[in-house]
Amino acid sequence: MQDLTTGKESRLIFHFAAPMLVGNVFQQLFSVVDSVVVGNFVGKEALAAVGASFPVIFVMVSLIIGIVMGTTIVISQYFGAHNYLKVRYAIDTMFIYSFVAGTVSSVAGIIFAEPLLRFLKLPEEVMPQATQYLRIFFSGIIIFFGFNGISAVLRGLGDSKTPLYFLIIATITNIILDILFVAVFKLGVAGAAYATLLANGLAFALAIIWLNKTHKLIRIAIRGLHFDREIFWQSIRIGLPTGIQHTLVAIGGLALMGIVNTFGTNVIAGFSVASRLDAIATVPAMSFSQALSTFVGQNIGANKLERIKAGLISTVKMSGIVTIVTTVFIVLFGNFMMSLFTRDAEVIRLGNQYLTIVSIFYILFTLMFIYNGVMRGAGDTLIPMFFTLFSLWIIRIPMAYILSGKIGASGIWWAIPAGWMIGLILSYSYYKSGNWKKKSVVKYQEIL
């Protein structure tokens, strides 16, 4: 656990964000490794199948993840207020909710996997493998929620290092099992899915054992869990807008994938690989944003509002430097990175085209996420939700549809940074209004 309410803001945020940054990179490596292995040992149809599966997974889990994020904000504010009983109840409530929601998601994912893929007009040569991958993944989705729930709780308590250690174990395990199941046993996309589930399961089991033996606030057991209705509804109030936002963003991803699918297997494969690399490239922005949210949550809980602006300025500087370096790297080496996934020249060309266009606008994405991080930490998630939906559904999706009809697949790529620009303008304007300061869960009188 780490108290972020005292000490130099830049140092605290950097040391808190760094393990999350590394951890989020390892998290993205799950999908990257799956794509690299199936792309090299199975073929571009399998590569397209794995890539087409991720928007569907994102849709099915987004609402739940959003509400878990709401609980994390509640935890960070009560921790900042030193109300440890409420922290304990919030953790218990989150685990109970995650178990129930994970069970429902598993059943729904298995049933609706193929109908969703057909609705997206996925090419027939890709359909069987994508359906198989999705059904296997959803059969163990509760493991995914459990492992990510533990990581979210620890981050809310100011501990970003411990989740990283378990994530490294999971990623290394996934790499070994991917090679074993796909390259050696020739299980195809099914082997990649099984590898992901088993790796998550091992990390989850080890995390439970370690936490139950060593942690003061976290005890994970079926007996003795306390469901707190008040905290649950606080989490819903904060997390539901984020969950709806993530869900509608995920549906937007499906809509974008539907446009991509009309261009055939090469474009699907190129987009799938490039978007995996794109996800890694945007990890610094998301990590610094998550760190800033926890920093803001704890300082609001401790009634130290004067530290928030200093924390924001430090975060903008640090994340901005990392973003510029990332952009330069991708522009210079995008073609080489694409070639790690496939030997198909057309797939490489299309993916590199995406990376070149999108990467030069990463700074817009970074700033948008940082300002949204301040608002999330304060408990104000509703207004940012509307901003995100506007930039996605009113700007990105219509532009992608119109431009792709005029200039081809590259029109989809240009629509992505256009949405970021509008989102940044809206987020910055709302931050300057200061209305987000009134949304905290913990009021000053609670910590007197």
Q: What is the pLDDT of residues 12-65, one digit of tens each?
A: 999 888 887 887 888 787 778 888 999 899 988 998 898 888 888 888 888 888
pLDDT, greater one: 25 or 111 = 111
pLDDT, greater one: 374 or 4 = 374
Residue 441: its pLDDT value, please? 60
Cα–Cα distance between 266 and 184 in angstroms, integer? 26
Q: Which of 97-101, 155-159, 224-228, 421-425 has the highest mean pLDDT?
A: 421-425
Cα–Cα distance between 20 and 161 in angstroms, integer? 7
Cα–Cα distance between 111 and 107 in angstroms, integer? 6
| pLDDT 10s digits, 165-202 | 888 899 899 999 999 999 999 999 999 999 999 999 99
pTM higher than 0.85 = no
Residue 179: its pLDDT value, please? 93
Q: Is residue 257 within 8 Å of residue 120, measured between CB atoms?
A: yes
Residue 216 backbone phi and psi in degrees, to 5:
-75, -40
| CA pseudo-torsion sign 189, 194, 195, 199 | positive
Compute how many other C-beta atoms are within 10 angstroms of the C-beta atom of residue 131: 21
Q: Is residue 56 within 8 Å of residue 254, measured between CB atoms?
A: yes
Whether the pLDDT of residue 208 is over 80: the answer is yes
Q: Which of 373, 288, 370 is nearest to 17 (CA)?
A: 288
Residue 94: its pLDDT value, please? 85
Residue 222: its pLDDT value, please? 67
Whether the pLDDT of residue 448 is over 60: the answer is no
| Amino acid, single-letter form, for residue 405 | G
Q: Which residues does 255 contact at the CB level (< 8 Å), separation at least 6?
A: 397
Whether the pLDDT of residue 443 is over 70: the answer is no
Residue 207: its pLDDT value, please? 84
Mean per-residue pLDDT, 281-302: 88
What is residue 96's three-state secondary structure?
helix
What is residue 160's three-state secondary structure?
coil
Question: Up-side HSE of residue 221: CA atoms within 13 Å toward CB?
Answer: 7
Residue 446: its pLDDT value, please? 43
The percent of residues in the chain predicted with pLDDT above 90, rounded, is 44
**DSSP state for residue 226 in the 8-state scheme:** -
Q: Which residues does 248 contact at the CB level (< 8 Å), separation at least 6?
A: 388, 389, 392, 393
Q: Which residues does 333 contact at the CB level (< 8 Å), separation at least 6?
A: none
Whether the pLDDT of residue 221 is over 70: the answer is no
Whether the pLDDT of residue 206 is over 80: the answer is yes
Residue 62: its pLDDT value, please? 81
Q: Is residue 95 within 8 Å of residue 220, measured between CB atoms?
A: yes
- Binning pLDDT at 50, 70 and 90, where does residue 113 land? very high
* DSSP assignments along 239-282, one per residue: HHHHHHHHHHHHHHHHHHHHHHHTT-HHHHHHHHHHHHHHHHHT
Cα–Cα distance between 290 and 288 in angstroms, integer? 5
CB environment 207-223: b (16+ within 10 A), e (fewer)? bbeebeeebebbebeee
Whether the pLDDT of residue 98 is over 80: the answer is yes
Tokens read off for 297? 């949550």
- Binning pLDDT at 50, 70 and 90, where does residue 422 land? very high
Q: Is residue 58 within 8 Å of residue 226, measured between CB atoms?
A: no
Mean per-residue pLDDT, 190-216: 87
Mean per-residue pLDDT, 201-218: 82
Compute how many other C-beta atoms are within 10 angstroms of the C-beta atom of residue 234: 23
Q: Is residue 106 within 8 Å of residue 197, measured between CB atoms?
A: no
What is residue 297's three-state secondary structure?
helix
Q: What is the mean pLDDT of the chain?
A: 87
Q: Is residue 418 within 8 Å of residue 403, measured between CB atoms?
A: no
Cα–Cα distance between 217 and 123 in angstroms, integer? 50
| pLDDT 10s digits, 311-345 | 999 999 999 999 999 999 999 999 999 999 988 99
Cα–Cα distance between 112 and 265 in angstroms, integer? 22
Residue 447: its pLDDT value, please? 39
The percent of residues in the chain predicted with pLDDT above 70, rounded, is 95
Residue 445: its pLDDT value, please? 41
> Which class for 332: exposed (0-12), middle (13-18), buried (19 or more C-beta within 10 A)?
exposed
Residue 227: its pLDDT value, please? 87
Residue 216: its pLDDT value, please? 67
